[in-house]
């Protein structure tokens, strides 16, 4: 059984134009998603709290971070760059998860307190 000496032959990095077009499409989808989230959350008991705003901000931040990572990866010069970029991304996301969990917990507690006091 012969092994392929060039397993990545034919795989090419997308052009800058293709990346730009794809990023614009993703941004359009995200705008629609955020509009839907805002409309949906406005109808919930939490719709009038900062919880919805925190959720939206955290989601926007996470998506922007992921898109930034993809952009950096597309410009990596070698495998060492890829590993460095990926490690930095994972590290920053782990920190963001801790901060966001704390923020959402506070937001849920405030929303719950508001719901309990307004239902009396």
What lies within 8 Å, CB to CB, of 24 at 6+ separation is none
The HSE-up count of residue 91 (CA atoms within 13 Å, CB side) is 6
Q: In this structure, what token pair is assigned to residue 88?
A: 């930095």
pTM of the model: 0.65
Alpha helices, DSSP H, located in the chain: 16-42, 50-74, 79-118
**Four-residue CA torsion sign, 80, 81, 84, 87:** negative
| Domain locations along the chain | 17-118
Q: Are the C-beta atoms of 67 and 23 separated by less than 8 Å?
A: yes
Nearest one of 87, 55, 95 to 69, comparing CA atoms: 87
Task: Quote the CA–CA distance of 93 and 6 in Å, as a whole number.
Answer: 34
Per-residue pLDDT of the chain (120 residues; tens, 9 = 90+): 556 566 556 656 667 788 778 878 877 887 788 778 777 777 766 666 688 788 878 988 888 898 888 888 888 888 999 999 999 999 999 999 999 999 999 888 887 887 778 766
């Amino acid at each position: 059984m012969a092994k392929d000496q060039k397993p990545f032959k034919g795989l090419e990095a997308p052009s800058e134009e293709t990346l730009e077009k794809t990023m614009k499409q993703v941004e359009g989808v995200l705008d629609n998603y955020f509009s839907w989230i805002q409309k949906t959350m406005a109808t919930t008991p939490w719709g009038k709290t900062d919880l919805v705003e925190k959720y939206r901000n955290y989601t926007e931040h996470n998506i922007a971070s992921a898109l930034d990572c993809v952009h950096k990866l597309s410009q990596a010069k070698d495998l060492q760059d890829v590993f460095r970029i990926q490690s930095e991304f994972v590290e920053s996301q782990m920190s963001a998860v801790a901060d966001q969990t704390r923020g959402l917990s506070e937001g849920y507690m405030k929303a719950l307190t508001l719901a309990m006091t307004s239902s009396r």
